[in-house]
A and B are shown apart, each in its own frame.
Chain A
Amino acid sequence: MSTLHFVTLAPFIMAIFVPIIYKKFRHLHTGWFILPLPLILFIYLFQYLPLDGSPMETVSYSVSWVPSLGINFTVYLDGLSLLFALLITGIGTLVVLYSIYYIANKKEEPLNNFYVYLMMFMGAMLGVVLSDNLIVLYVFWEITSLASSLLIAYWFHKEKSRYGAQKSMLITVTGGFSMLAGFTLMYLMTDTFSIRGIIAMADVIVTSPLFIPAMLLILLGAFTKSAQFPFHIWLPDAMEAPTPVSAYLHSATMVKAGIYLVARMTPVFGGQAEWFWIISTFGLFTLLWGSVSAVRQKDLKGILAFSTISQLGLIMSLLGLGSAGYHYEIIDGTSLPIVAVLAAVFHLINHATFKGSLFMVVGIIDHETGTRDIRKLGGLMTIMPITFTVSLIGIASMAGLPPFNGFLSKEMFFTGTLNSATLDVFNVGNFGVIFPIVAWIASVFTFIYCMIMLFKTFTGKHQPEKLDKAAHEAPIGLLISPIILASLVIVFGLFPNLLSYTIIEPVMQSIMPGLTAPGEQFYVNIYHWHGFNTELFMTMGVVFFGAFIFLNQKKWQDTTFYLRERDPLNWFYDNGLTGLINGSTVVNNVQMTGRLRDYFSYMFIFLIAIVSFMLWQSNALAVDFTNITEIPSYMYFVSLSLILCTIVIPFVSKRISAIVLMGVVGFLVALLFVVFRAPDLALTQLLVETVMVVLFLLVFYHLPELRKETFKPVFRLSNLIISIGVGLVVTLTALSVHAYSYENPISPISDFFVENSYALAGGNNIVNVILVDFRGLDTLLEVLVLGIVALGVVVLIKFKARKGEDV
C-alpha cells in the first residue's frame, strides 16, 4: 500500500468515522471535521505538479486484489489523473466549506448522511481517476453512481428528489453495465485489464473484429455519465439535490468522469474514423441541444444544468476532433488538430472553476431569497453586491468574454473547429464546414442564456412581495468558496500560462502519448491577443447576435418554444419506463394465470416440443418390430381390457365408479406382472392397490357435500390434443429405445445378479436380494419416504392452522 492508495481510500475511511463524530460532537458542525481531509489530499497531490516546466514523471504502485483474475488495485498518476484528482480534492474542499454554511441547520438536517455520501463519492471519484485497472475503475465508477443517487435523494421526503435519483441511477447504471461489457471485450482482445497494457496493445485492438462493439459499449458508459445527447435528461432532474452536491457532482467532477474515460481511451481508439465521427458529432449536437434548451429554462439551476450539458458536449467534441491528431507526425505549431485537445483540457479546468462558482452563487440566491425562479427574481445587484460580482465574473467567463478564462478556451474551441474543417482525413471533406457553424450557433445561444441569467436576476425591479424571505447579502462563510473560484477564473484568464506547462502539457502527454519525440514537449502557449483572425470575428459576431436576440426578447418570449421547459426527450424516458412496467405486467398476467391446468399445459407442451425436437434432431426416431417376441392370444384380452378401462375413466360421471375403475386398472396391471413372471411385483401391486382403494374411499367420504354429485368431466379439445401428443411422444420414444437397444446391444447388469445372488448374498429371490442387499440404500431411503409421508398426513390432518394463524 503506497501513499497514493491511501489517498484513494482516505475518504472511505473518513466515511466510517463520520457518524461517530456526528453523534459525539453535536454542538459543532460535522463539516468542520471533514474539511481538513480534502485539503490535505489536495496539498499532497499538488506536490506532484512539475512546477519547473520539465516533463512530468508518472508514478505507479500496485496492490494485489484478485491476482488470479488479473485484477490488481494499481494506482497510476500521470497528467490526466493528476488534473482530475486536483479538481476533485480542490473543489471538494471548497464544496465542504460551502456546505457547512449552506446546510447550517445542524439540528434538523441529517448531516451524518450527507457527509458519508459525500465522502463515499469523493473516494470513488479518486478511485476512478487514479485506477489503472479497468475492473477497479468500474467498481469505483458504480460507487459514484450509487453515491450520486443517494445525494440527489438527500431530501428523500420530496417526490421530485426520488424521481431524479431514480432516473439518474437507471441511466448511469445502464451505461455502467455496458461499459463493463466493453471492458470485458477489451480483456478478450488484450488479455489484460491494465489500461497501460491495453494502450501498449492498441494496434491489436484496432484490427480486432471486437473493436467496434467494445468502443461503442465503452462510449455508452462515458456518454451516460457525462450527460451527452440523448442521455442528458437525468442531469436537469438531478438539480433537486442540495446545491453543494450540484456544484460538486453535477458540474465539476462526476459528469466529467465520462470525459475522463474518453480522454483515457483516446490512445487506444484515437485515430480511428468511427471514434472521431461519433464523439465529435455527439459532442457538437449535445453542445447545441444543451445551449438551446438552457435558454428555455426559468429555474436558475435548470439553466446551469443545461449549460453544463452543453459545455460537456463542447469538451467531448474537442476530444473527438483532437483525436485526428494521430494522423500527423511530430507536432510543432498550433495549427493542427492537436490544438483541439489543448482547448479541451483548458476548457475542462475553466468550466470546473466558473461552473462551480455559479452553482454556489445560485445556491446563495436560493438561500437568501427562497426562490430560484428568474420570473420572481430581479434587482438584486445593489442588495447582494458580492454575489453579483462573483456571478458577473462566472457568467462572463461562461459566455466567453475577455479577459476571463472562458474567452481563451472559446477562442481555442473556434480554432479547433476551424482546423477540423480543413482536415484531409476520415473523408471529412465538405462536412467539415458544419463544425465551426454549429459551434458558432451554440455560442450565440450560450451568450443568450448567460445574459438571461445575469440580467433577470440582478437587474430590473426588485419584487420583494414574490419572495419568501427578505433578500440580503449572504454570510461571509458562504461567499468564501465562490470568491476563491471566481479569483481563479480571473487569474487563469489573465495568466493562462501558469497552467500551460504545469498541468496542461502533462495532460496532453497522457491523452496523446507518443506524438512528440522522446523528451520533447507539446508547444503550449495561451495568449489573449492573437490578431484580427477568424476566431476573433466569430466572437464579435456571437456578442453582437446574442445581444441582438436578447434585446428583442419581447418578440419571442411568448412563443411555445420558450414557454415549454421540459426537455422533449423526457417523454421517451417516462413513457418507456411506464411502458416497460405495464408491458411486463401484461406479459406476466397472460402467462401467470394462477390456474394449475394452464401450468400443466405449459409443462406438457414443453415436454412434447423438446422430446420430439430431440428425436428429430438426432435422427433417433425408429420403429422396429422385427425382433419382438410372439404375443400370446390372452395378452390381447388383458391389454384390451386395460385400454378400455383407462379410456372410460375420464368419461365416467360419478366419482365412485372412477375409483372402482382405477382399482380394476390396478388389478389388471398386477395380472400383467403375473404374466411377465414378476411374483413379488404382482403381490405388492395387489396389496398396494387394495390399500389405495380403501384410502380413496376414505377420502371420498370426506369430500364436501355440496359438490359431491356435480362432478362431470368437461371436454376440451386442447387438452385432448396435448394428452394425445404426450402419449404419442412417450410411445415413440419407447419404441425408438427398443429399436436402438437391438441395434446396439448392451449386456444387462441383471446377469451379474442372477449369477451371484446366492453366492454373495445367500438368497435365491433375486428381487429381494437386490432390495435388501445389493441396493439396500435405495430401500432404506424409500421407507424413509414412507415415514415422512405418514408424518405429513398426520401433520396435515391433526395440526390444522386456525384462521389467521401464521403457519
Chain B
Amino acid sequence: MKNTPVQLHVITRIVAFIILAFSIFLFFAGHNNPGGGFIGGLMTASALVLLFLSFDIKTIKKVLPFNYAKIIASGLLLAVLTGMVGMFLGRPFLEQFFDYYQLPILGKTELTTALPFDLGIYLVVVGFTLLVILTIAEDDS
C-alpha cells in the first residue's frame, strides 16, 4: 500500500478513543448535565465515522463486526421493555422509577430506569447513523 497516511492513522487511534470516552461521559452525564442518549449516540457514531474515514471500510468492519440493524432493533426493544416495567407494576406505560443506593466503589448513587431507556436511544442513534452512512458509502452501482 503506497502513501499510507501514517500521521492520520496514529492520530485517529488516539483521538477516536478520546471521543469514545467523551461520548460515554456525555451519555452518563445526561441526567444532571448536558448530554444524554441522543448526543452520546451521535458522538460515538462520529468516532466510528472517523475510523471509517481514515482506515478503509473493510478493515474497520473486520475490527468492529457489528450488524447495525440488530443494534437498532435491540435499542428499540430495550426502550420498550423499560417502558413496560411500569405496566407490570400496575402503573402506566413508560413511567420511570428512581432511587438512591449505596454501591461499592461508587458510593451513594442514583439508579433510575431512565438510564436503560436512554441506552436504548443511544443504541438506535448509533445504529441509525452508521447503517445509513455505510449503506450509502458501500453502494457501488
Contacts and interface: CB of A to CB of B under 8 A. Distances in A.
Interface of A: 679-680, 683-684, 687-688, 690-691, 694-695, 698-699, 702, 761-765, 767-769, 771-773, 776-777, 779-780, 783-784, 786-787, 789-791, 793-794, 797-798, 800
Interface of B: 26, 30-39, 42-43, 45-46, 49, 68-69, 72-73, 75-76, 79-80, 83, 93-94, 96, 98, 110, 112, 114, 117-118, 120-121, 124-125, 127-129, 131-133, 135-137, 139, 141
A800 B133 contact: no
Among A690, A699, A761, A790, which residue has the most Cβ atoms of chain B within 10 A?
Answer: A790
A791 B76 CA distance: 13
Nearest to B100: A762
B128 A790 contact: yes
Nearest to B132: A793
A762 B141 contact: no
A778 to B, nearest CB: 10
Given A776-B94, A780-B94, A783-B124, A789 B132 contact: yes
B135 to A, nearest CB: 5
Contact of B32 (A764, A786, A787, A798): A764
B135 A761 contact: no
A779 B119 CA distance: 12
B121 A783 contact: yes
B131 A763 contact: no
Given A776-B117, A780-B83, A787-B76, A684 B39 contact: yes
Contacts of A762: 31, 98, 110, 112
19 contacts: A680-B39, A683-B35, A687-B39, A687-B43, A694-B49, A763-B112, A764-B31, A765-B30, A765-B33, A772-B36, A776-B114, A776-B117, A787-B76, A790-B69, A790-B128, A793-B131, A793-B132, A794-B69, A797-B136
A783 B117 contact: no
Contacts of A683: 26, 34-35, 39
Contacts of A790: 68-69, 72, 127-128, 131-132
B117 A679 contact: no
Contact of B42 (A691, A698, A783): A691
Given A786-B124, A789-B132, A798-B135, A768 B31 contact: yes
Contacts of B124: 783, 786-787
| Among A767, A786, A791: residue with most chain B CB under 10 A | A786
Nearest to B53: A694
Contacts of A687: 39, 42-43, 46
Contacts of A702: 136, 139
Contacts of A761: 96, 98, 112, 114
Contacts of A798: 135
Contacts of A791: 69, 72
A680 B42 contact: no
B128 A789 contact: yes
A776 B97 CA distance: 13
A519 B52 CA distance: 105
A385 to B, nearest CB: 87
Nearest to B118: A772
Nearest to B34: A679
Contact of A772 (B37, B39, B75): B37
Nearest to B137: A698
Nearest to B131: A790
Nearest to A690: B46
Nearest to A777: B94
A690 B79 CA distance: 26
A765 B83 contact: no
Contacts of B80: 780
Contacts of B46: 687, 690-691
A772 B40 CA distance: 14
Given A683-B39, A687-B42, A772-B118, A794 B94 contact: no
B61 to A, nearest CB: 16
A680 B36 contact: yes
Contacts of A769: 31, 114
A684 B35 CA distance: 9
Contacts of B73: 787
Contacts of A772: 36-37, 96, 114, 117-118, 121
A694 B133 contact: yes
A780 B136 CA distance: 26
B31 A783 contact: no
A773 B114 contact: yes
A793 B42 contact: no
